[in-house]
């Protein structure tokens, strides 16, 4: 029995809850390939007969595709709606992963990196905006917690095949199969997306098609746009740099062993995942803007500990504290987007925010790598502190922007079953 039949039988609340569960699955799927390349590359580069450093070319290609698709996501969603865009984007990533598994040369790996990045960017912007428009803040936190689950499962699957002596291609193929299963679920769920859209119109919601899309230059002139993009860029600069270079800082500047440093960076990511689950509970009582402030205080506290001559245990725990501080900021800023800019332009701004986030991920950590190589790895806490101190005033300026009353968003409060 398909979801089309179920739509006509079951009550509306259950159907929206079912749709929310499907979105949760989509976020797990979004995280599956994100950490995969780093896991397979030590073996894949030998199989493809290319240098180890060529991983950077694949990552940059994926990131460029993600940035471009994030920027243009509004036009796609305006024309085809969120449900269809999500389904086709996951289909794109599934096909790309399958293509990875059959790539006989590095050239084909680059070719398939393009649809992988394009699919990831559009679905990320689409689902974040959809949840911001229709669901409470806790779901945004839990969705990004589920992304972390997917990012954890992906490397585990590929590592399983590598540990058994199997080809790295089997890991990619398995992830592709999981993505194709989700594609089927997403296409079957299209009536659920349509039903929620129809209910929104019946409640007096205005169709997005009545608004002409703004050009990139016009969006930048909107009140709050520049602080929003600055806040996203600075936050992602902190998160990505801490995750990528934290271990090197602990080894080179603090005298940790490589194994111990790796464990504390794992604790950093665990702090983000656990913190997002806890943040979802806290948002029932605490507003998004205060969750952002709490998170920034946590990051600052952790960075300050990195400056101090404290025992190794405290230094390690500082990374976990930074991770817990990072946890609520990204979901809270995403969830506030319709409140700041109104539903007219929330999707356009969301796409730009995601694009600036990916730009930060791509540019800021490599710049610190140059600083660490040519100056000193001990600059790490100063580097984090600069971006954190830039993020705080940007987010405070953004918190003063609110949409007009007629653009007010009605967010549903359905439980997760």
Quick one: residue 344, left, alpha or beta (phi over 0 = left, psi -120 to 50 = alpha)? alpha
Whole-number Cα distances in Å, 315 to 251, 263, 301, 379: 12, 12, 11, 15
Q: How many residues does the chain have?
A: 417
Contact in structure between 244 and 59 (CB atoms under 8 Å): no
Does residue 126 sit in the same domain as residue 234? no
Q: What is the CATH number of the domain that holds 139?
A: 1.20.1250.20
Same domain membership, residue 290 and residue 177? no
- Which of 28-37, 59-68, 110-119 has maximum average pLDDT? 110-119
User: Are 346 and 390 within one domain?
Assistant: yes
What pLDDT, in 10s, does the model give residues 327-352?
Answer: 999 999 988 888 888 877 888 888 88
In a domain, 104, yes or no: yes
Do 162 and 237 lie in one domain? The reply is no
Residue 330 falls inside a structural domain: yes
Mean pLDDT of the chain: 83
User: Is the model's pLDDT at 34 over the cut of 80?
Assistant: no
> Within 13 Å, how many C-alpha atoms sit on residue 317's CB side?
8
Q: Is residue 210 part of a domain?
A: no
Yes or no: say if 390 and 230 are a contact pair by the CB < 8 Å rule: yes
What token pair was written down for 154? 């992906």
- pTM of the full structure: 0.80
**Total domains, the chain:** 2
Per the model's pLDDT, the better-predicted residue between 139 and 94 turns out to be 94
Q: Which two tokens stand for residue 380?
A: 């790490």
Does 225 lie in the same domain as 187? no
How does pLDDT run across 233-269, given as a tens digit for each residue? 999 999 988 888 888 889 888 988 887 887 888 788 8
Checking if the pLDDT of 413 tops 70, the result is: no
> Does one domain contain both 253 and 386?
yes
- Let me know whether 93 and 63 are in one domain: yes
| Residue 172 and residue 223 in one domain | no
Q: Are residues 277 and 383 in the same domain?
A: yes
Residue 397 has pLDDT above 60, yes or no: yes
* Residues 192 and 61 occupy one common structural domain: yes
Does residue 23 belong to any structural domain of this protein?
A: yes
When mean pLDDT is compared across 64-68, 264-268, 285-289, 409-413, the lowest value belongs to 409-413
Range(s) of the domain holding residue 277:
218-402
Q: d(Cα 240, Cα 303) in Å, to the nearest integer?
A: 14
Asked if residue 415 belongs to a domain, the reply is no
* 213 part of a folded domain: no
* Domain-located, residue 416: no
Q: Give first-to-last CA distance, the chain, whole Å.
A: 20
CA nearest to 151, candidates 30, 232, 320: 30
Distance CA 147, CA 233 (A): 20
| Other beta carbons within 10 Å of 228 | 25
pLDDT in tens, 88-99: 989 999 999 999
Best CA proximity match to 134, nearest among 335, 331, 315, 275: 335
Q: Of the residues 174, 201, 228, which one is the last residue of a structural domain?
A: 201
* Structural domain ending residue among the three candidates 201, 231, 256: 201
The pLDDT assigned to 2 comes to: 44
Instruction: Measure the CA–CA gap between 123 and 82, rounded to whole angstroms.
Output: 8
Which of 166, 201, 236 is the last residue before a domain boundary?
Answer: 201
Question: Does residue 380 contact residue 253 with C-beta atoms inside 8 Å?
Answer: yes
Angle formed at CA 127 by CA 121 and CA 132, multiple of 5 degrees: 125
**Are 178 and 224 found together in one domain?**
no
293 and 162 within one domain = no
């Amino acid at each position: 029995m398909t979801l089309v039949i179920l739509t006509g039988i079951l009550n509306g609340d259950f159907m929206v809850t079912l749709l929310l569960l499907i979105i949760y699955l989509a976020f797990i799927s979004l995280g599956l390939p994100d950490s995969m390349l780093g896991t397979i590359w030590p073996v894949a580069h030998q199989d493809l007969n290319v240098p180890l450093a060529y991983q950077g070319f694949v990552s940059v290609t994926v990131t460029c595709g993600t940035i471009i698709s994030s920027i243009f996501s509004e036009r796609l969603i305006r024309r085809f709606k969120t449900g269809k865009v999500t389904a086709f984007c996951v289909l794109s990533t599934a096909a790309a992963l399958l293509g990875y598994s059959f790539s006989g040369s590095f050239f084909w790996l680059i070719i398939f990196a393009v649809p992988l990045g394009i699919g990831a960017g559009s679905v990320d912007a689409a689902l974040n905006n959809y949840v911001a428009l229709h669901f409470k803040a806790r779901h945004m936190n839990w969705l990004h917690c589920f992304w972390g689950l997917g990012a954890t499962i992906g490397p585990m699957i590929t590592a399983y095949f590598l540990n058994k002596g199997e080809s790295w291609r089997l890991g990619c193929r398995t992830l592709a199969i999981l993505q194709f299963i989700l594609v089927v679920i997403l296409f079957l769920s299209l009536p659920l997306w349509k039903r929620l859209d129809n209910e929104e119109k019946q409640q007096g919601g205005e169709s997005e098609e009545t608004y002409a899309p703004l050009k990139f230059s016009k969006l930048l002139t909107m009140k709050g746009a520049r602080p929003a993009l600055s806040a996203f860029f600075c936050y992602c600069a902190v998160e990505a740099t801490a995750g990528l270079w934290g271990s090197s800082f602990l080894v080179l500047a603090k005298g940790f062993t490589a194994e111990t440093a790796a464990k504390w960076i794992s604790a950093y990511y665990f702090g983000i995942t656990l913190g997002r689950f806890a943040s979802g509970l806290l948002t029932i009582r605490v507003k998004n803007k205060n969750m952002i402030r709490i998170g920034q205080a946590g990051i600052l506290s952790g960075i300050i500990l990195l400056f101090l001559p404290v025992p190794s245990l405290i230094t390690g725990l500082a990374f976990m504290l930074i991770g817990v501080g990072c946890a609520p900021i990204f979901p809270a800023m995403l969830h506030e987007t319709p409140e700041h800019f109104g539903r007219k332009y929330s999707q356009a701004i969301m796409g730009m925010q995601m694009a600036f986030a990916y730009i930060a991920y791509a540019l800021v950590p490599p710049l610190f790598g140059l600083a660490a190589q040519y100056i000193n790895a001990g600059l790490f806490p100063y580097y984090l502190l600069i971006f954190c101190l830039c993020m705080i005033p940007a987010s405070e300026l953004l918190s003063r922007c609110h949409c007009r009353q007629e653009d007010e968003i009605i967010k549903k409060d359905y439980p997760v079953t």
